Structure 1
Amino acid sequence: MPVRSLPLLALLFFAVGCSSNAPPPTNDATAEDASPPDQITLTDAARSELTITTVTVEERPITSHLSLPARVLPEANQQAYVTSLISGRVDALHVGVGAQVEQGQVLAEVTAPGLSQRVAALRQARDELDRQQRLQERGVGLTKNLTAAERDWAMARQELRSIGVRADRIERVARGEEDLSTLPMEAPISGTVLDRMAVLGSPVDEGMELFYVVDLHPIRVVADVFERNLDQVREGQEVTVQTPVNPDRAYQGTIAQLVPQVDTERRAVSARIRLSNSDGSLRPGMFATVRVAITGAAEPALPADAIMTDERGTYVIVEEGNNTYRRQDVDAPADAEGTVVVRELAPGTNVVMDGGFQIMSAIDNQQA
């Protein structure tokens, strides 16, 4: 609540009234007639000494904020595990936790029994297919032999595809342009390595997860909307997201989806918010708070700057007309900002914005 100081002119006005050399003050110095408690009617002369501005109480929709507990999660289609599709041993590790990787980048290499035999069978099948195709071009080849060569080539390729070797690499290996003494473990997506389960030299079983890679741009925030608040939240609503790690930073987003099912344990519906997270400051596993702006019904309201406070509580100075002003206690927080509801006042009531403390001082002086 802003603190307003008594203008020098008003201070002098009251100081002169209390001087030992001045005649005893009378109510006529500031008021025309005796006024009820907490009310004063100023003379025209006294009114002219004060700078008073007023604001009118208006009915307006009041915006409040609903705070929802939330957590930061990766997008479902932007996370992947790097899994070994064959048993073997970790022969080389190329990245660690936190590394930025590109799709197709080799993260580790696994030595697998029988890999060399599969490569040999692939190259043999490729050579035989090439030979049968050349014979066909010269018109001396048999169709059944070409068909058999094509079948063997497809089977040899599938043997390597089944353990995770990409089709373009298989073609290069078949033509001898690339070696395949170890099985490369490649990143299925671009992103950040959040976990590495592989240990150099350790055995690997078929289906074992070696790395966990997540694309953090964008990222998802999932908030719990409890049953009692379901009628206040909808898809497309703008929200503000904050985290305990950086409470002064606010991320702006919208509710992309409300899951159409209540979690039976939390008694809440999940609201999903997608944030760009361009700087990577939001990380999976973080807790967050989602604030949703809720616009309520129209109520009598004032700018918070019109609210004053003293030892008796919060109040405003109401302008009654004909230079008459009165104190009106209101149920409003002393540290309110923006717009506050004042149910004690009717719409159309004029309330003092500037000059209120001078008027209240005159009221107190009158009652002294």
Structure 2
Amino acid sequence: MNYETTVRADHGSALDVDNADFAEGEAPSRTKRNVLIVVGIIIALAVAIGLWFFNQNGEAGTAAMADREEQAPAITVVSPGASTIEGTITATGTLAARRELPVGIAGEGGRVVSVPVDAGDWVSAGQVLAVIDRSVQTQQAASAAANIEVARADAQLAQSNLDRALQLVERGFISKADIDRLTATRDAAAARVKVAQAQLSELRARNARLNVVAPASGLVLERNVEPGQVVSAGSGPLFRIARGGEMELMAEVSENELAQLSPGVPATIVPAGTDKEFTGQIWQLSPTINAQSRQGTARIALPYAPELRPGGFASARINSGTIVAPMLPESAIMSDEEGSFVFVVDGENKVQRRAVKTGIVTLNGIAITEGLTGDEQVVLQAGGFLTEGETISPVKAEE
């Protein structure tokens, strides 16, 4: 069977026209979607690239920071805390006799015959230190003693004459005036005896003063006379004696430190040239301050010891009370024109300058009276090589 299909031309043309209109409307939509897709892909790629670079930079920054931390210098730090500190004032001075007795000629002097003592000897009160020639004075004393005998003889004769006259006056052979004259003669003779005795005593006292004697017990520090030397009252001290052997250190301290001291405060003395320590105490404080040096003197009494030589140099550690404060070694404290300061490590391991005020100096360090609480991390050493704000790697000091 044959079928014939007849297609009308007008119907086909209409279909083609409709299909063409549909194709023309769909093309712009597809183009727009394609553009959006491409833009989205580009944005996604840009975000991905940005994230990749961000991650790379973050890792690089972290690595750089780690490198910087690894390169930060390792610095020893310490947390001083707060403790009770025995106040100590360090001073220096000269040793001397606490009570020095200069001994010289008390009389008219003369030629020295002998000197039985020497420097370094111990003497007692009244002991003869030097003997002066008294040959002339001895003869003078003998003459004075003879004059006493002459005066006594004259006095006895005058008394006898008076006694006889008194027996004769009753018989009328002697007048009352004669009795008065004989009585006066007797009294004058008795007075001359007393004068002669006084002269002898004076000569003996003068002769006794020819000997140079110790005024008190003590240690002979100096001997400035030799046998054969002629001495007089103008010769100056022949001996110097430390009474009782007592010594002292005349310690020089600042006026601020002097205000912290009082008599009775103990002190430890170390003479130059020895490590031996001696214990003494302040017995007198200088009432004045030297206008040039701004220092005063603390006189520290010491018992006798061979190592304590007057004129020698010594150092003293004087107790000046106690305080509660942080204490740092000297290496941690620096100073410049603005004053004393330390470097404190903050939470970011950066050093920061902190002004401080120092106080008592001890053998274990220096007290910080202002500027620190004691809980900070303070650079212990090498502060002079750091700058404020510098990052460090703090290392805790071994206790």
TM-score, length basis structure 1: 0.54
User: Which range is displaced more, 336-345 or 199-208?
Assistant: 336-345
2:126 aligns with one of 77, 94, 104: 104
Deviation at 1:265, TM superposition (A): 5.0
Give 5+ residue unaligned stretches, structure 1: 1-36, 38-55, 167-182, 305-313, 316-330, 347-362
Contact 2:137/2:203 (<8 A) preserved: no
Q: For 1:261-308, what per-residue CA distance to the aligned partner results, in whole angstroms no more than 9, with x for missing partners?
A: 22345432221121122x443121111112122335422579x9xxxx
Contact 2:286/2:296 (<8 A) preserved: yes
How many residues are aligned here?
253
In the TM superposition, 1:7-86 aligns within 5 A as 59-76=82-99, 78-83=100-105, 85-86=107-108
TM-score, length basis structure 2: 0.50
Identity %: 23
2:314 aligns with one of 281, 284, 288: 288
Deviation at 1:109, TM superposition (A): 2.1
3-state SS in 1 of match to 2:86: strand
Q: Which amino acid aligns with 1:79?
A: L
Q: For 1:302-326, what per-residue CA distance to the aligned partner results, in whole angstroms no more than 9, with x for missing partners?
A: 9x9xxxxxxxxx99xxxxxxxxxxx
1:94 aligns with one of 92, 116, 121: 116
Cross-structure match for 2:246: 218
Deviation at 1:125, TM superposition (A): 5.7
Deviation at 1:146, TM superposition (A): 3.6
Cross-structure match for 1:161: 205
3-state SS in 1 of match to 2:211: strand
1:263 aligns with one of 290, 306, 309: 290
Deviation at 1:336, TM superposition (A): 7.7
3-state SS in 1 of match to 2:259: helix
Q: Aligned in 2, Cα 1:151/1:268: closer, same or farther, shift over 3 Å? A: farther
Counterpart CA distance in 2 for 1:337 and 1:225 is: 21
Deviation at 1:240, TM superposition (A): 1.3
3-state SS in 2 of match to 1:207: helix
Cross-structure match for 1:24: none
3-state SS in 2 of match to 1:161: helix
2:193 aligns with one of 107, 130, 149: 149
Counterpart CA distance in 2 for 1:256 and 1:158 is: 43
Counterpart CA distance in 2 for 1:299 and 1:186 is: 58
**Structure 1 position 246 matched with structure 2 position 246:** no
Counterpart CA distance in 1 for 2:80 and 2:238 is: 66
Cross-structure match for 1:10: none
Contact 1:94/1:107 (<8 A) preserved: yes
Counterpart CA distance in 2 for 1:88 and 1:106 is: 16
In the TM superposition, 1:199-348 aligns within 5 A as 199-208=226-235, 209-215=237-243, 217-247=245-275, 249-277=276-304, 279-295=305-321, 297-300=323-326, 337=364, 343-345=373-375
Q: Which has the larger radius of gyration?
A: 2
3-state SS in 2 of match to 1:114: helix
Q: RMSD value over aligned CA atoms?
A: 4.7
Deviation at 1:251, TM superposition (A): 1.6
Q: Aligned in 2, Cα 1:216/1:136: closer, same or farther, shift over 3 Å? A: farther
Q: Which amino acid aligns with 2:311?
A: G
3-state SS in 2 of match to 1:232: coil
Q: Aligned in 2, Cα 1:147/1:243: closer, same or farther, shift over 3 Å? A: same
In the TM superposition, 1:166-177 aligns within 5 A as none
Deviation at 1:84, TM superposition (A): 5.7
Q: Aligned in 2, Cα 1:276/1:98: closer, same or farther, shift over 3 Å? A: closer
Q: Which runs of 4+ in 1 moved over 4 A?
A: 56-60, 125-144, 335-342
